[in-house]
Chains A and B, each alone.
Chain A
């Protein structure tokens, strides 16, 4: 654990250095995220959309894998850097609240970090609140377009309706003398 911690600390301070970033990517099995970034996004999105009695959560739906690919392909580098900075903020907030990074924190501590980040969802102001909005939107997009997410909704469409279409047919005109009064 302590070796892990040191590695994370190193990355944190190296963030922004192009050499360090490319070095990290070379070691990473992911397309954009470093292993730790990926782990944080994987845990964080699972807290946002968890597995429950009905269906799997963000982890099972491979939300982090999808976001990793999306960011790797993104046209605008700004989007990548904003996400990277946001992930760093999560770790920093965890250090501040729990004296350990997000991945080393207990499940309860992680949820507290996310609650703090959520802040005032209606009017996000702080960088943490802004990132919460970003990552939640991204998780919603990725989860609810996944097979697990669509099945969680009991969505019944995208199917051939061979006889009658869905819904009811209104019986006759709604108005006796429509428009004439």
Chain B
């Protein structure tokens, strides 16, 4: 791998008019930069955070005992807990005595390696209903630590409204996005195994990760019921990416699961090495970090977007930059915030919001329910190398495909794994002490299997975010107020997740040792979507099928906020495929003079 390019402030010339300015550098912003620069456009990418020396941060191979606190962040830093999200008044960090307050992910092991990646809640408050909002402000955004499960949606999702009568269909179908999924697969790399499932389409897979003994046993038991537990479909390159000098293929070190996330050899996709640095190498990309955009500016004469205003997050000085097109990829919630903040005489309701749907139809995945079991046949067996994978298995959706569940609509899948990890978590619940205790911990290592569900949260108009009239963030920018709650369908689905998980383990001959039936706080999945949804009707949607604002033709929203429904698949790959499709359209339209 070559060292990364110098991609800092000096490359951004704020006096010129760019073909496109992109807000945000995560999966969406990175993809927009990649595609538009390949089309030869002159692009400026703005990122609110700084550029992190990520290899130095992650130290993926460091053993816990090589770290003074065994990988934990400093003792005066605090991670919000499930209980605190529920009981503490908002903003959560207000009045807390700690040096820094982070979202719950910093409560996981290895938090010292990600403490400079996720935001400090003290600087970035929220108000309203409880919401566990995980944000990462750095070049690459949340792709620096994402969970790597890379799934496709299908027409079961795009046409879900036709199937069960709830909500809206997407303005596209699978055949529209399929070629773009293919391009994302081939450009970034994805590991997995073909299963020929119409409701979970196969990708252009590289070499698959493998299943360990417990997972194979579970897969075979599930196959008898017509359910599929497939090797984790990971947005990780196992064979390498030709033509990308910034990434290595996966070496199976397993650090991705021992930490909050992140890959210091960039085998797991991240936006900087996968998209931004290659875009930079075209010579068409300028980047400015520490640039927090607070407004999309408007040309009063044409009603078009004229560029953006941003605040330097270090010096707090404000700047304007002009562009022929503006693309928002700030993340679902930040993008909605930015649209609503961009009020003018032309757009008193916020830019692109004539429908009044910006901030609404907010959806994600409900999680929490899960099960842990013991595979008795594996107790006391010689230990094998089981980890070194970005994930274990994915159990594909099985509800509301052919049958109609009487209690809820839509579906859910499970992420799970078996096998030995570095730390024997079961030691905490192994009773007794002394030599017998120690032997029992050793004998049981690798003999457990567990899985947790991710279910579709319905996109409902009444679930929304808005601008708080009083609360501001560290930079004086008004923050989001949440009005968002899981509903009856989510609760019933979550109950079924627990019941079905127990049943499947029992059917597979796995002894259940733990059951989780509690639904975690809204936001826990870090899969927020839907605040600027796509559609063909400008009265009921914010952007069209090309993620182009119905109201402002040179304004595009290219992140998860445009998703019409959450489906139950992890959204990152769909965000990038849609963004690619929209950027092809944008480049074509700009070339034809249709966006001026």
**Cβ–Cβ contact A166 & B437, under 8 A:** no
B166-221: which residues lie under 8 A (CB-CB) from chain A?
193-199, 208-213, 215-216, 219-220
Partner of A70, one of B69, B195, B198: B69
**Cβ–Cβ contact A54 & B442, under 8 A:** yes
| B226 on the A face (CB < 8 A) | yes
Contact indicator per residue, chain B 433-465, by CB within 8 Å of chain A (1) or not (0): 111011101100100000000000000000000
In the bound assembly, the distance between CA atoms of A167 and B156 in angstroms comes to 32
Chain B min CB distance to A144 (Å):
6
Chain B residues with Cβ below 8 Å from A13 are none
Most buried by B among A152, A158, A164: A158
Chain A residues with Cβ below 8 Å from B97 are 75
**Cβ–Cβ contact B228 & A174, under 8 A:** yes
In the bound assembly, the distance between CA atoms of A153 and B383 in angstroms comes to 8
Partner of B384, one of A70, A140, A156, A170: A156
**Cβ–Cβ contact B63 & A167, under 8 A:** no
CB nearest neighbor in B for A178 = B197
Partner of A137, one of B401, B428, B435: B428
Name the segment of B133-141, B291-299, B386-394, B484-492 touching the other chain: B386-394
**Cβ–Cβ contact B385 & A173, under 8 A:** no
| A17 on the B face (CB < 8 A) | no
| A6 on the B face (CB < 8 A) | no
Chain B residues with Cβ below 8 Å from A48 are 433-434, 437
**Cβ–Cβ contact A178 & B228, under 8 A:** yes
Partner of A173, one of B194, B254, B437: B194
On B, residues with C-beta under 8 Å from A are 61, 63-65, 68-71, 75-76, 78, 97-98, 193-199, 208-213, 215-216, 219-220, 222-223, 226, 228-231, 238, 250-255, 258, 382-389, 401-402, 419-424, 427-428, 431-435, 437-439, 441-442, 445
**Cβ–Cβ contact A165 & B422, under 8 A:** no
**Which 7 pairs of residues, A with B, have the shortest CB-CB distance?**
A161-B252, A167-B210, A174-B223, A145-B64, A156-B385, A154-B383, A166-B385
| A121 on the B face (CB < 8 A) | yes
**Cβ–Cβ contact A140 & B428, under 8 A:** yes
Chain B min CB distance to A145 (Å):
4
In the complex with contacts A75-B76, A75-B98, A157-B438 CB distance below 8 A = no
Chain A min CB distance to B60 (Å):
9
In the complex with contacts A47-B434, A166-B212, A158-B61 CB distance below 8 A = yes
In the bound assembly, the distance between CA atoms of A11 and B434 in angstroms comes to 29
CB nearest neighbor in B for A74 = B75
CB nearest neighbor in B for A49 = B438
Contacts beyond the supplied A166-B386, A174-B195: 17 A-B pairs with Cβ under 8 Å: A49-B437, A49-B438, A50-B438, A144-B441, A145-B423, A146-B65, A150-B63, A152-B442, A155-B383, A155-B422, A158-B254, A165-B389, A166-B210, A166-B389, A167-B212, A167-B386, A174-B228
| A118 on the B face (CB < 8 A) | yes
**Cβ–Cβ contact A153 & B420, under 8 A:** yes
In the bound assembly, the distance between CA atoms of A174 and B229 in angstroms comes to 8
Partner of A159, one of B197, B250, B385: B385
Chain A residues with Cβ below 8 Å from B431 are 121-122
Chain B residues with Cβ below 8 Å from A160 are 251-253
In the bound assembly, the distance between CA atoms of A175 and B388 in angstroms comes to 27
**Cβ–Cβ contact A178 & B196, under 8 A:** yes
